[in-house]
Amino acid sequence: MTGHFGFSYVGLLFLLLLFIPNIIWTTKKPQGYTSGNENKALLLFEKTGEALTTICVLIFDDFNLHSWSNWSWWLVAAFVLMAMYELWWIRYFLSERKLSDFYSSFLGVPLAGATLPVFAFLLLGIYGKVIWLSAAAVILGIGHIGIHMQHSRELKKSALQ
């Protein structure tokens, strides 16, 4: 469960699926978006999780395709979550790009922009049997999902006022 060192092309693909829409997002942020007032502990978890996830997904070749087995369903599930993430981004980019669009759910998944990629990386770690990626995804999730929850609560509070 520790992983075999080597380059992961599947990991690179997952990172591209993660980074490309986020790069586009930098020019299409929601109206009124601010990253101020973010919980410093959650921000530390998020940044640490981002770094660890990026490193782990690239340096262990256990995530690459293997012959089909029942274990392969974990990879299928991870790809399904990443596909849902891409569809969520398409819906966001086609929307009016309000904060409510950015913190929206997708196909029943709350805060889909934060939860889908985190769980995709968690499942990828399970597929590759690499505890380090799974742990990194949990750290990332605490920070990233936590920050999105914080922003979503603030948005709901301001809507009530």
* Single pTM value for the model: 0.95
- What is the tens place of the pLDDT at every residue in 42-53? 999 999 999 999
Q: What is the rounded distance in angstroms from the CA atom of residue 30 to the CA atom of residue 27?
A: 10
Q: Where are the domains of the chain?
A: 9-25+39-63+73-160
- What is the tens place of the pLDDT at every residue in 136-159? 999 999 999 999 999 999 988 887
Burial of 118 (0-12, 13-18, 19+ CB in 10 A): buried
